[in-house]
Amino acid sequence: MENLAIIESFSDFKDEKNIDRVTLMAIIEEAFRNQLKKKYGDDENFDIIVNPDKGDLEIWRNRIIVADDEVEDPNQEIALTEALRIEPDFEVGEEVSEEVKLVDLGRRFVLSFKQNLLTKIQEHDNSTLYKRYKDLEGELVSGEVHHIRHREIIIYDDEQNELILPKDSMIPQDFFHKGDTVRAVVREVQLRGNKPVVILSRTAPLFLEKLFEQEIPEVFDGVITIRKAVRVPGEKAKVAVESYDDRIDPVGACVGMKGSRIHGIVRELRNENIDVINFTNNTQLFIQRALNPAKVTSINIDEEGKRAEVFLKPDQVSLAIGKGGNNIRLAGLLTGYEIDVYRDVDEDEDVELTEFSDEIEPWIIAELKTIGCDTARSVLELSVEELVSRTDLEEETIKEIVRILKAELED
């Protein structure tokens, strides 16, 4: 059993690599034939019998018997005298099948064969991994943190395949230790050379959608459909949902009693605030819902330019804009419209900040507008402390602005 001793155990390959028997046989035979071609120039006259379960390999070389002085190709032909040593009644013209032992092929041959075999198995693993995860692009997967690098986290799946979660695809509040279980979506599968690289994401809107599928049965069953999801990872998200069953309230089904259903999703997303919105084809109503929790007074829509002018009471403007402008930005992404917010006030009761450009510098006016303050009263409705905390302006600057605005309105 020299062949068994040299090749060691094919069954180990089968078990460790999870390769089926037929595939492993084909890989071993291909690797061996590659070496035979290098050694003899041709492998067509060789029969290879592989038994990976037992770790056995048989190689038979078939040659035609010719007269002793007529051998032209030692790989294809065998001299009669040599053939008679194998079987005493052979004759010229007959075919001889002779078993070849790996030990007789030489140590270099065997080492090259083993290397070739390992290469072929790695190619098979790469191909299998690529196909598997290419089919899983956009799907939710989980794995265990193996080690943490400066710009990425390496995660191993159940079969010890390496998955990569880049830092820029992590929620800002994410913090993992080695051994932690991580859920993410497969963002893409790249080929770097011949090696497949699986890239994960926890910041993609699709990650939020897949969590809804996993946590909410009606979404999983297709009774409720997610029309669109948009996110500022770790901060805020908006999800438009629609039900194909009039008896089911899609928003209520997704949120659950006292938020019971959505709580697990919020926790997974590091307390990301999630607004679930009932989808509608009525553009005005959809924009109004998307700006929740702000109460909209009226909307003017430019369908061609995909813009919407939204009018709100002064106390609703900051709600519409939201912290850091997240609410209005997400509403725009969800609806597909560029949304401009205006205060719904009587012109006689208020004055645009731009009217004070002779007393207040333009960059200060621009800074106040970023927090939704574009009129005198909208500024005065906020305390000095609020204005300081929400802008990059100094307290003394704020106090001077308040003095100027109050003087104008009192006059």
3-state secondary structure the chain: CHHHHHHCCHHHHHHHHCCCHHHHHHHHHHHHHHHHHHHHCCCCCEEEEEECCCCEEEEEEEEEEECCCCCCCCCCEEEHHHHHHHCCCCCCCCEEEEEECHHHHCHHHHHHHHHHHHHHHHHHHHHHHHHHHHCCECCEEEEEEEEECCCEEEEECCCCCEEEEEHHHCCCCCCCCCCCEEEEEEEEEEEECCEEEEEEECCCHHHHHHHHHHHCHHHHHCCEEEEEEEEECCCEEEEEEEECCCCCCHHHHHHCHHHCCCHHHHHHCCCCEEEEEECCCCHHHHHHHHCCCCCEEEEEEECCCCEEEEEECHHHHHHHHCHHHHHHHHHHHHHCCEEEEEECCCHHHCCEHHHHCCCCCHHHHHHHHCCCCCEHHHHHCCCHHHHHHHCCCCHHHHHHHHHHHHHHHHC
Q: What is the pLDDT of residues 205-254, one digit of tens each?
A: 999 999 999 999 999 999 999 999 999 999 999 999 999 888 999 999 99
- Counted domains in the chain: 5
Q: What is the pLDDT of residues 93-125, one digit of tens each?
A: 899 888 887 777 777 877 777 777 777 777 777
Highest mean predicted confidence (pLDDT) among 15-24, 75-84, 98-107, 237-246: 237-246
| Per-residue confidence band for 331, with pLDDT thresholds at 50, 70 and 90 | very high
Task: Measure Cα distances from 322 to 259, 293, 318 in Å.
Answer: 21, 9, 6
pLDDT for position 121: 73
Whether 196 and 222 map to the same domain: the answer is no
Domain boundary among the residues 235, 256, 278 is at 278
Who has greater pLDDT, 111 or 395?
395
pLDDT for position 171: 96
Whether 109 and 53 map to the same domain: the answer is yes
Who has greater pLDDT, 357 or 15?
357
Closest residue by Cα to residue 2 from 60, 76, 56: 56
The token pair at 145 is: 């943190």
286 has pLDDT over 90: yes
165 has pLDDT over 80: yes
Whether 24 and 102 map to the same domain: the answer is yes
Highest mean predicted confidence (pLDDT) among 28-42, 234-248, 352-366: 234-248
Whether 352 and 367 map to the same domain: the answer is yes
Cα separation, 303 vs 63, in Å, equals: 82
Q: Is omega for the bond preceding 293 within 30 degrees of 0, making it cis?
A: yes
Q: Which domain holds residue 95?
A: 2-131
Cβ contacts of 212 within 8 Å, gap of 6 or more: 219, 226, 229, 239, 254, 265
Cα torsion angle, 375, 380, 382, 384, sign: positive
Q: Please tell me the pTM assigned to this model.
A: 0.66
pLDDT for position 348: 56
CATH of the domain at 266: 3.30.300.20
pLDDT for position 89: 86
9 has pLDDT over 50: no
If you average pLDDT over residues 36-42, what whole number do you get? 84
266 has pLDDT over 90: yes
Whether 188 and 260 map to the same domain: the answer is no
List 311's β-bridge partners, or say none: 298, 342
The token pair at 243 is: 């039900």
6 has pLDDT over 60: no
pLDDT for position 13: 54
CATH of the domain at 181: 2.40.50.140
Whether 124 and 11 map to the same domain: the answer is yes
| Per-residue confidence band for 377, with pLDDT thresholds at 50, 70 and 90 | confident
Who has greater pLDDT, 279 or 23?
279
Domain boundary among the residues 278, 297, 324 is at 278
pLDDT for position 60: 87
Whether 58 and 125 map to the same domain: the answer is yes
Domain boundary among the residues 242, 257, 278 is at 278
If you average pLDDT over residues 288-302, what whole number do you get? 93
| Per-residue confidence band for 10, with pLDDT thresholds at 50, 70 and 90 | low
Whether 84 and 54 map to the same domain: the answer is yes
Whether 295 and 264 map to the same domain: the answer is no
Whether 17 and 109 map to the same domain: the answer is yes
303 has pLDDT over 60: yes
Cα separation, 152 vs 165, in Å, equals: 6
| Per-residue confidence band for 34, with pLDDT thresholds at 50, 70 and 90 | confident
273 has pLDDT over 90: yes
Cα separation, 176 vs 169, in Å, equals: 14
Whether 398 and 359 map to the same domain: the answer is yes
Say which amino acid occupies 114: K
If you average pLDDT over residues 185-196, what whole number do you get? 89
Whether 330 and 226 map to the same domain: the answer is no
